[in-house]
């Protein structure tokens, strides 16, 4: 009996130890897995004018989850397993709505009406010049100061066969942020039972306009610290060089013999010091293969956790951003201050300043046609 008592005590101590808990799925993840793929809706606060914001958390049958909020159709949390099966949140953000209402670099938001930069905020369409807000001097960035990630979307769960999904919709009225046309936009987030996080974008207009929709999630597959040891592969032979204000020159250049070459898996920190002008990566790449067809754009692996993320997209380009704008001044989830290089963004999109570059893939959308794109973040661990 004495020996049996000692054995029971050892088992109890192991169960209480952090090391033991870290190597097994958490109780919440296990409970979610027991329910199978499903969606849970909850309140997430109110805006200053009293508008209620909701959260929709989608779970797959394995216990992975994505928390989405109607403010900005934002990806607020994304929990996926590491090599030991432990779930971890791999995106930056805030614990509450107040963080998202304040100043921040677009954490997790749906970006529109035009993602990335437009030179001096000007473009001409059908012979008329439009002047957008200059919110990234001297240029316009991510749809202006009140872009899609600063708007309240409507959300509704949708049934899918192999996981759970929620569709967000938003009507951007003619003249909003000085863009022409009433644009009806939607983004459907889907989490499959094989840990694929998919995004499908759709948009229609009643007047000629320009559209470039993307998502601005900041990923850290380790969950904290910097991403300099994350290993990145980019399926891109070409990139678009930029001027000192990060506007493309119009050239489409080879990545050969530059610190931008990630055609062979390379640690993000390996050559980042060679980029002297802006101090890191904030570059648009042309994804190899035909735009409109789903193909791999990137693969990221994190050695310690064993997590891997592949990015597949129908878009012609991907913006690789190494969070050079973070500096520890923003406190995010769990009271963590986000440092420089504390994440990486892989924003699947059309090229920056496309309305002013006829040689770039067009971002013009006309009535009677539909904008559509698909991006999938495929997670695994080993």
Q: Is 153 in contact with 180 (CB distance < 8 Å)?
A: no
Single out the catalytic residue among 204, 347, 350, 374: 347
Residue linked to tokens 């050969």: 256
Q: Is 147 in contact with 112 (CB distance < 8 Å)?
A: yes
Q: Is 316 in contact with 284 (CB distance < 8 Å)?
A: no
Best CA proximity match to 374, nearest among 171, 187, 217, 142 = 187
Catalytic status, residue 283: no
Catalytic status, residue 216: yes
Q: Is 64 in contact with 195 (CB distance < 8 Å)?
A: yes
**Integer Cα distance of 110 and 108 in angstroms:** 7
Instruction: Output the six-digit token pair for 321.
Output: 């951003």
Q: Is 165 in contact with 151 (CB distance < 8 Å)?
A: no
Single out the catalytic residue among 104, 106, 216, 283: 216
Q: Active-site residues: which are they?
A: 216, 347
């Amino acid at each position: 009996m004495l020996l049996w008592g000692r054995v029971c005590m050892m088992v109890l101590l192991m169960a209480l130890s952090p090391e033991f808990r870290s190597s097994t799925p958490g109780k919440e993840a296990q409970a979610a897995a027991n329910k199978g793929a499903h969606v849970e809706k909850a309140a997430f606060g109110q805006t200053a004018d009293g508008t209620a914001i909701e959260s929709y958390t989608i779970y797959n049958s394995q216990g992975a989850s994505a928390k989405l909020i109607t403010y900005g159709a934002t990806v607020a949390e994304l929990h996926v397993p590491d090599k030991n099966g432990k779930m971890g949140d791999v995106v930056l953000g805030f614990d509450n709505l107040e963080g998202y209402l304040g100043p921040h670099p677009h954490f997790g938001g749906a970006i529109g009406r035009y993602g990335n930069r437009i030179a001096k905020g000007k473009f001409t369409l059908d012979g008329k010049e439009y002047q957008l807000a200059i919110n990234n001097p001297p240029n316009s960035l991510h749809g202006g100061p009140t872009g899609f990630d600063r708007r309240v979307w409507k959300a509704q769960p949708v049934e899918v066969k192999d996981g759970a999904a929620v569709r967000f919709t938003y009507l951007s009225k003619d003249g909003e942020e000085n863009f022409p046309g009433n644009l009806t936009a939607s983004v459907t987030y889907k989490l499959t039972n094989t840990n694929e996080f998919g995004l499908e974008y759709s948009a229609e207009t009643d007047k000629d306009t320009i559209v470039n929709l993307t998502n601005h999630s900041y990923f850290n597959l380790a969950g904290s610290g910097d991403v300099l040891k994350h290993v990145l592969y980019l399926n891109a032979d070409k990139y678009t060089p930029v001027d000192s204000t990060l506007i493309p020159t119009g050239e489409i250049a080879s990545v050969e013999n530059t610190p931008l070459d990630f055609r062979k898996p390379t640690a993000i920190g390996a050559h980042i010091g060679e980029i002297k002008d802006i101090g890191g990566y904030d570059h648009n790449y042309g994804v190899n293969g035909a735009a409109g067809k789903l193909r791999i754009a990137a693969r990221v692996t994190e050695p310690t956790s064993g997590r891997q993320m592949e990015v597949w997209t129908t878009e012609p380009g991907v913006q690789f951003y190494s969070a050079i704008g973070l500096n520890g001044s923003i406190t995010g989830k769990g009271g963590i201050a986000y440092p420089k290089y504390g994440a990486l963004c892989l924003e699947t999109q059309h090229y920056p300043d496309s309305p002013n570059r006829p040689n770039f893939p067009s971002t013009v959308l006309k009535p009677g046609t539909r904008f559509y794109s698909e991006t999938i973040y495929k997670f695994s661990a080993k």
